[in-house]
Amino acid sequence: MTDSSRLCLCLTGPTLESDLRLLEEYRPFIGLAEVRADFLSAGEIASAARLPRLAGLPVILTVRRVRDGGRFAGSESDRVALLRKLAAGGFAFVDLEEDVEAPGLEADIEAGGGRIIRSMHDFSGVPVDLAVRMRRLARSPRELPKAAVMTRGTADLAGLLDAFGELAGTEKVLLGMGDCGFATRVLASRLGSRICYSSPPEASAAPGQADPRTLETLYRFSRIDAGTAVYGVIGNPVMHSLSPSIHNRGFAALGLNAVYLPFLVDDLAAFWTVADSIDIRGISVTAPFKEEVLPALVRRDALVEALGACNTIIRGRGTERGEWEGANTDVEGFLAPLREAFGGAIPRGLRATVIGAGGASRAVVHALSSQGAEVLLLNRTMERAGELARRFPVSAAPLDERAPALAHEYSSLIVQASSAGMEPDAGVDPFPGYQFSGREVVYELIYRPHVTAFLERARRAGCRLVFGEQMLLAQAREQFRLFTGLNLPPEAFGPHRENIHETTP
C-alpha cells in the first residue's frame, strides 16, 4: 500500500448496489474499502462475495458481532461459516476478532488470497496494557494487528498515544473511537497506523469516523507524513469549530506541510502530554480554557497580561522541546470588523452593552475600553462580572429582569459574548427581554449557527449586524501569522468569504 491507500471507506449499505454507489461517490478519496457484511440485509449477504471483482480496489471483508459494535446477531458457528464462504471471493483482507477459534478458517482465507486483520475492540476505554496486547494479537507474521479503543477523554488519548510510541516501527492498525480520538484518524500515517477507516456522514460505521471527502480535501490526509507540522484548537465543545477549515485552507494555498485539528479537551493537564507526544507547534484556545492555560506559559504578550486570557499558544524556540508562549489575537479580531461596521473608525464615547463575562468578554471589554467606549457588562452571576469590572473601567450588573432597561442606556452597540445560542444549544436567546429599536449595531461572537436567535431578532428590528465569523476570520489572520510567519491567503476564507462583509440586515 502507498500512503494514499491508507484511507478506507466503510461500506454500510443494506444492499450491494447501495455499497457500489457509495464506492463510486468516494472513489477519488480512498485507496481501499471495507464491506460490512453485517450491515447487509439477509437476502444480500451472499452478494458481498462479488464486491472484490466489482470494486476496482482492495476490499476488506468484515462480519462484526453485536458485542464488538457490529450488527451480526446470529450464532458464532453461522458467522464462521459465512466468513468461510465469502472469503473465497478474493478479498484483500478479512477481519477476524482476537478470540475467533475456527480450525482451518485462517488457511481458507489465505487460500483465497486474503490477509487476516486480527482485531480487538474496547468500548470501555484505553487498556493500560494496550501495547502489550497489540504485540500478542497477530498469530503469524502475515497477520495485521488492529485495535479500536474508545477514547473517553483527553487522558485516554494520552494513553493511546503512549501505545503508539511503544509500538513505533511495528505494522499495525490503531485508532481511537469517539471525538477525543479524532486526531488518531487524521494523523494515522504520521503515527504509523496502516489504515484509517472512514464513513459517509450519514452512515458512520463506528464512533468518531470522519467522511473521506473531508479527510482528504480539508485535512489533506494522503499528504500527511512524519514531517507534517501539527497545529490545533482546544476547547469543549470544539468539534464544530471552523478554525480547521480556515487554517488548513491557508496551509494548502501556501503549500505548507502542516495540518490543523480540533482537540476536544476535558483535562488540560492531560492535553499537555498529548501536545508533547505529537509535537503540536501551535494552539488556538477557545472556551473554557482561555484563562486555564495561563500557568503553562513561560512568556506572555502584553495583551495576555492585560486581559488575563490567552487564545493563541506557540512553541518557543529557546529550549530543546520548546516551551509555550502565549498571545491574544481576540482584541484585534474583535475590533477589525467593528471598525468596518462603523465605516472605518469606532466613534469615541460609544456606549456599549456586553453580555457575558467569560474569556472572550475580557478581550471585548478591553478592546472597547481602549477605544474610549463606556461599557455595561451583564452576566448571570455577579462574581464573574465583578471580577472584570475591577480589572477594567466598566459598569457591571446582573442579567436579570432589570437588565433590559439598563442596556437601553448603553445601546449604540450590543455585543453578545456568552456561549448561549451556540450549537448544540442553538435557539437559546441570552437576552430575550431586550427589545431592539433598530438603531443598535449588534455583534454576535458565536459563529455557528451563522444567525443565532438573538441575531435574528436584531435583524428583524433593522439593526446593523456583525457576525461571529467576521471576528473568527480576523483573529485567525493574526494567529496564522504567529504560527507560520506568513500572511493568511484569501483562499483560506473558502466558503466563509461571503460572510466577511455582511454587516447590514
Q: What is the CATH number of the domain that holds 406?
A: 3.40.50.720
Q: Looking at the DSSP assignment, which residues form a beta bridge with residue 287? A: none
- The whole domain housing 455 covers 331-473
Distance CA 416, CA 403 (A): 14
80 occurs within a structural domain: yes
Kindly state the cell numbers that stand for 482: 504567529
Average pLDDT over residues 371-396: 92
**Average pLDDT of the residues in 73-86:** 94
Share of the chain above pLDDT 70, in %: 96
In a domain, 379, yes or no: yes
CATH code for position 68: 3.20.20.70
Kindly report, residue by residue over 423-479, the tens digit of the pLDDT.
777 789 999 999 999 999 999 999 888 899 999 999 999 999 999 999 999 999 999
- Report yes or no on 253 lying in a domain: no
In a domain, 117, yes or no: yes
Given 176, 200, 224, which residue is the final one in a domain? 224
499 belongs to a structural domain: no
Res 354 pLDDT > 70: yes
Separation of alpha carbons 25 and 11, rounded Å: 12
Say if 198 falls within a structural domain: yes
Question: What is the domain count for the chain?
Answer: 2
Of residues 448 and 130, the one with the higher pLDDT is: 130
Averaged pLDDT, 39-67: 95
Per DSSP (E only), the strands in 131-242 are 144-150, 173-177, 196-198, 229-235
* Residue 495 reports pLDDT greater than 90: no
Residue type for 182, please? F
Residue 397 in any domain: the answer is yes
Asked if residue 264 belongs to a domain, the reply is no
98 with 214, same domain: the answer is: yes
Residues annotated as part of the active site: 290
First-to-last alpha carbon distance for the chain, in angstroms, is 53
What pLDDT does residue 274 have? 98
β-bridge partners, 121: 148
Please say which residue of 172, 196, 224 terminates a domain: 224
How does pLDDT run across 288-326, given as a tens digit for each residue? 999 999 999 999 999 999 999 999 999 986 555 579 999
Supply 490's cell numbers. 484569501
Quick one: average pLDDT of 229-245?
95
CA–CA separation, 27 and 31 (whole Å): 8
Residue that has been written with the C-alpha cell 466468513 in this structure: 83
452 vs 209: CA distance, rounded Å: 28
Q: How confident is the model at residue 1 (pLDDT cuts 50, 70, 90)?
A: very low
With vertex at residue 475, the alpha carbon angle to CA 469 and CA 479, rounded to the nearest 5 degrees, is 130
The answer on 136 and 13 residing in a single domain is: yes
Q: Is 31 in the same domain as 150?
A: yes
What is the percent of the chain with per-residue pLDDT over 90, rounded to a whole number?
84
> CB within 8 A of 125, min separation 6: which ones?
149, 150, 151, 152, 156
Domain limit, last residue, from 200, 224, 248? 224
- Assess whether pLDDT exceeds 90 at residue 109: yes
Same domain, 166 and 44: yes
Residues 77, 214, single domain; the answer is: yes
* Rg for the chain, CA atoms, rounded: 26
Which letter does DSSP use for residue 432 in this model? T
C-alpha cell at 270: 492531560
Query: Whole-model pTM?
Result: 0.91
- Reported as a pLDDT band with limits 50, 70 and 90, residue 384 is confident
> What pLDDT score was predicted for residue 421?
87
pLDDT higher than 90, residue 498:
no
Q: Please say if the pLDDT value at position 33 is more than 60.
A: yes
Place of cell 433590559: 404
